[in-house]
Structure 1
């Protein structure tokens, strides 16, 4: 086992050095993003927050019908295309619409915020454009988290490679803590402990090793789910397909322009009816509607609702894809219970993004993010101290060798020959 442990230590060191700085960034930003909505409301209240309204009887005031709000968004944003809208409403939050700029002379924006009570436009923004604007700061942190805020798709690819190396680091990291001699369990136990009275170096070493062991399962989950989110088609799906099955994505369709496009209300009515039929057939219940949007590439209306098959409970993950001109069902997307690969992927995604188990799990994810950053930092510190000590030792050896050579040269020639 000793050669395997030595090899694991070698791989763990170099993969750790490659990923350390990036994991510190990912850990800190991930901790913040566990409370993304709260931070958005804090730093961007002008766009994100609206005052909750009540009627004359003190009851919550009614909000605009989603289709009326959508029409007001279209009227307020000439030169932009609005691909769809959400149905979900919160009494003190604005409603966000996704935009596509059709008039290139207009400001580059991909999101708009409207007041759900009166349809007033609160503002537009380019999500994550800069950290120096309070309206885009949280989005920039999000982009920094998963792509170092680099241009697409290069940022996603690079961070995907980091996540893949991190996954390897997790696998070899646990082996690198194994004792090289017996008895195994008695000698491995100290690796799980932190000696608080030790030197600064030893304390950093213990924190790095013990945190990696205690949090190994969670860190591996986040590492592999990061690969899924950034390199799904390139790495994750091919690997997982060896023992899990996945639903294939729908192929792009050429629009049949000889038929008119369904309007939003028609598409919604058909999509709701189709969702109910799929629910009856597949044996799940529909809880609430989530969003409807038009996909130009597929020439398809896509409707999402929250159902008993969803992992998350704050939005819809169950979808039906209908032909944008005939209303025919083209594709369904059921998050769990149909394809094992889809079920695992939905859980990995939801766990990674802290979208399950409410506030306690979000707090847990924030703590894990900080723990990841501390683990990466302590690993860097241990490597730096070892390297520094090794350089000092080498300099001492070189100085000693140089003195020995100098002393030999300083001796009389006859004495040197005698020796």
Structure 2
């Protein structure tokens, strides 16, 4: 088989087999670009803090644990601006001698920093399409369809094949080197099939850098360990400071150095979030820093929960080429690396991805119908064609 017909066949079957997944990823991804804005609009009472100075963070964590006993704080997201609330993410406490729960609840608890009053809570793993749980549901749906790790892995595989298909579609988009400019053009007076074809081909070329970025970064998130291992082989990654801390014989659930003491070690730096690892007895603080490349804190501070000593302090986007590549994955996938223009670009790329899926199916259906009609008229069943769509 010649190269071009083989590439057409690949592109067609990838489009047919991957259409549903790509459409769902594009649609949910576009919504998630504005996750915080939509969530705050739907649940304003959960995200509106009382006026006044902030109480110690330990008070807010205590209130969250009191409302949902049997859990431990896994991650604490502090206010980015005055008027924001504290979000405490709770993890179930493992019971010695008992197997872990198959589908545990991971609570997001929203606490007023001025009063330590719990404003609301939701299970991040729940299938909840109400206004309370919609955005949390979409977040998990985006990377696993709420079907667990196997689906997460499968969507990562779709991303890998999608990267390959970017190369294939780019080759197919330029059937003639002398007329390459026409591939970028959407004919103004074209209608029907020609307009659909132009939208599919030219739109794909214009947004090629964005959709390829989404494919690469999506594989990073769904195949995190595999990608990290591959990057480390090419450009060795800087080891996290807490990785060198040996695990404790018994998890330290009530450390001598409390949350408030650990936060005080940040000094004048504004803290974005923090978490605690009882298996090693180490706090991890994320601090805002002028070197940040998005709206999340990029400076990492690690604190020994037994002595209060700082065991590590580094910025995530500094180090080897591999470190920088990893640091840019979320800012690029979310568009936050370039502020509002970047977010809008990712939103449009998600909408465009849905459009490419629909137009691709329309092109396939038209060619399929034309072959069937030709076969009906000739009385001969035609063999599947691998000719270019246009």
Judge same fold: TM > 0.5, yes or no: yes
Q: 1:28 to 1:258 in 2, by over 3 A?
A: closer
Q: Is the counterpart of residue 65 in structure 1 residue 43 in structure 2?
A: no
1:268–1:287 Cα change, 3 Å:
closer
1:191 CA drift (Å) = 1.4
> What is aligned with 1:316?
297
SS at match of 1:124: strand
TM-score, normalising length: structure 1: 0.79
Greater mean alpha carbon deviation, residues 83-92 or residues 212-221:
83-92
Q: Which residue number in structure 2 is paired with residue 208 of structure 1?
A: 200
Of 247, 254, 275 in structure 2, the residue corresponding to residue 254 of structure 1 is 247
Alpha carbons of 1:384 and 1:325: their partners in 2 closer, same or farther (altered >3 Å)? same
CA distance in 2, matches of 1:6, 1:385: 18
Task: Name 1:164's counterpart in structure 2.
Answer: 160
Shift of 1:343: 0.8
Q: Which runs of 5+ in 1 are unaligned?
A: 54-60, 274-285, 402-419
Q: Which structure has the larger Rg over C-alpha atoms?
A: 1
1:307 alignment counterpart: 289
Pair 320,383 (structure 1): closer, same or farther in 2 beyond 3 Å: same
Look up the match of 1:174: 170
**Distance in 2 separating the partners of 1:91 and 1:270:** 19
> Counterpart of 1:44?
43
The alignment yields a C-alpha RMSD, in angstroms, of 3.0
Task: Provide the C-alpha distance between the structure 2 equivalents of 1:256 and 1:323, rounded to a whole number of angstroms.
Answer: 16
Deviations 1:247-266 (A, max 9, x none): 24526843155998333157
Matches within 5 A, 1:9-408: 9-47=8-46, 49-50=47-48, 53=51, 61-102=52-93, 108-151=105-148, 153-179=149-175, 184=177, 186-234=178-226, 236-241=227-232, 243-248=234-239, 250=243, 253-257=246-250, 261-265=255-259, 268=262, 271-272=265-266, 287-312=269-294, 314-332=295-313, 334-398=315-379
- Structure 2 vs 1, CA of residues 364 and 287 (structure 1 numbering), >3 Å: closer, same or farther? farther
- Residue 132 of structure 1 and its aligned partner are, at CA, apart by 2.7
Question: How many pairs are equivalent?
Answer: 372
With structure 2 as the length reference, what TM-score do the two structures score?
Answer: 0.85
Does the 8 Å contact 2:64/2:118 carry over to 1? yes
For residues 213-270 of structure 1, give each alpha carbon's deviation from its aligned partner in whole angstroms, at most 9, with x where no partner exists: 1111111111111111111222x33544454332245268431559983331575068
Corresponding position of 1:405: none
Contact persistence 2:288–2:298 (CA under 8 A): yes
Give, in whole Å, the separation in 2 of the partners of 1:302 and 1:115: 23
Equivalent position SS for 1:17: helix
**For 1:357, what is the secondary structure of its paired residue?**
helix
Kept in 1, the 8 Å contact 2:251–2:280? The answer is: no
